[in-house]
Amino acid sequence: MKSHVFRPLVVVISIVCIALIVRVFYVPKDFGVHERGYMYGWYRQGNIEEWKNVKVKYQGTEYCKDCHSDKYESIMTTPHAIIPCEDCHGPALEHPSEPPKLAVDKSRGLCLRCHSFLPYPTSGRANIRGINPDTHNPDTECVMCHNPHKPSLEGLK
Q: What is the mean pLDDT of each run of 10 residues along the chain (157 residues)?
A: 80 96 87 68 77 84 85 84 84 70 79 80 72 87 85 56
Tell me the residue ranges of DSSP E strands in 1-157.
33-34, 37-38
**Alpha-carbon distances of 131 from 38, 93, 98, 147, rounded to whole Å:** 49, 33, 36, 16
CA distances from 43 to 20, 38, 48, 99 (A): 20, 10, 9, 39
Neighbours of 119 (CB within 10 A): 8
At residue 53, what is the residue type? N
DSSP letter for 9, please.
Answer: H
Look at residue 54 in the predicted model and tell me its pLDDT.
Answer: 85
Residue boundaries of the structural domains of the chain = 3-52, 61-155
Q: Which segments of 27-96 does DSSP mark as H helices, in order? A: 48-52, 61-65, 69-75, 85-89
pTM: 0.57
Give the span between the Cα atoms of 145 and 35, in whole angstroms.
55
* Predicted pLDDT at 98: 61
